[in-house]
A and B are shown apart, each in its own frame.
Chain A
Amino acid sequence: MINFLKYLSEWAIPITILVIVGYAYYKGLKIYEVFTEGAVEGFSTVIKIIPYLVAMLMAISIFRASGALEILLDLLQPLLNFLGVPREIVTLGVVRPLSGTGSLGIVTELIQQYGPDSFIGRLASTIQGSTETTFYVVAVYFGAAGIKNTRYAIIAGLIADLAGFLAAIYITKLIF
């Protein structure tokens, strides 16, 4: 099963490209020209995202660098002790939706400190793999479409992240 998944992920990109290009070729399209017509929008699309991402990153970095995040974790501490969740893991859970590189850095540190096959190592791996950088996704996806009023999307995304976080703790404790 694992090997099958590994092959699937290795094959996916080349095969998808071949199938789509092949189908268009079969349909008689001028494939090279059509491809470049589409690709030309890559640059402008990415440029359009910049203001949204910068706005998001600015607020998040002020919050993190000021030490407010640490204080938030201190406030959460009694609850965490009660639930039996290690503090390092909670830091990861709070940083995860805010910053992809930040949370990956925390996971790397935890894996190096405790070992990849320790409880904390496995838990951190599961959390990183099953949750998303919600603030980044909102900025990038909605930014590219020019959406300014994101309505309830961030809240729903954060609820999903929290569910993934708690489910990761539950299943890791159960299995390992």
Chain B
Amino acid sequence: MINHIWFGLIIIGVITGIITGNLGQVSQAVLQTTEQGVMMLIKLIGPMSLWLGIMKLAEESNFVDLLAKIIKPVTRRLFPKLPTNHPALGAIMLNISANMLGLGNSATPLGIKAMQRLQELNPESDTATDTMCTFLVVNTSSVTLIPATIISLRTAAGSNAPLEIVGTTIFATTCSTIVGIIADRILRRVWS
């Protein structure tokens, strides 16, 4: 799948660039965005190290097992193939909580940690498992209670009610999560 999407974006882009005469901008953009992307990752090293350190403490002290127990009723249905006491569950719970609270810089490291734990159960190490796909979809569509970036953006723009979009955001993000989980269940059957 990703091979088709990837090649599609490149070939459509280059041909369009030739026709519109934008190839100069394309060459500039390619180098600039990859540079910015790597800079963004470099900045992630701090929060990444922080949360991997905290997660190591949570695992060695068996604190993740407590977290896994709390969300068992949900995860048993959401990730039926995952053992109910697996350490990935603790990281998944912290990741989803951080996403809900709009703590993006903390949510990413915790989600990565969860994904790496799920990878340990993977028999085919370069192919995503059903559980990994479900976790990814839950993550990209994750329910947000506090869209922190947007609230600060609105405040900075002089909004009279910067928080008034919280209700509509919770509604829209809940819809996307439900649809995402349904899509995951259907696509899983269609995809070999």
Contact = CB atoms under 8 A, between A and B. Distances in A.
A145 B167 contact: no
A101 B124 CA distance: 34
B140 A160 contact: yes
A147 B119 contact: yes
Given A12-B101, A138-B136, A164-B176, A24 B52 contact: no
Interface in B77-135: 94, 97-98, 101-103, 106, 108-109, 111-112, 115-116, 118-119, 125-128, 132-133
A50 B38 CA distance: 7
B183 A20 contact: no
* Chain B interface residue bracket vs A: 35 or more
Interface string B53-89: 1111110111100000000000000000000000000
A107 interface: yes
A61 B32 CA distance: 9
A129 interface: yes
Interface residues of A, number: 101
Interface string B122-160: 000111100011001101111011111110011001111
Given A57-B34, A134-B140, A163 B57 contact: no
A39 interface: yes
Given A65-B26, A122-B164, A150-B1, A144 B115 contact: yes
Interface in A68-118: 68, 71, 101, 104, 107-108, 111-112, 115-117
B150 A20 contact: no
Contact of A156 (B37, B111, B187): B187
A157 B175 contact: no
Given A20-B63, A141-B115, A129 B54 contact: no
B56 A37 contact: yes
A23 B127 CA distance: 36
B183 A116 contact: no
B89 to A, nearest CB: 15
A127 interface: yes
A23 B142 CA distance: 28
Given A8-B146, A116-B154, A146-B119, 16 more contacts: A9-B102, A24-B57, A45-B112, A57-B33, A62-B29, A115-B157, A122-B165, A125-B153, A131-B141, A131-B172, A144-B115, A145-B119, A152-B188, A153-B137, A163-B180, A168-B169
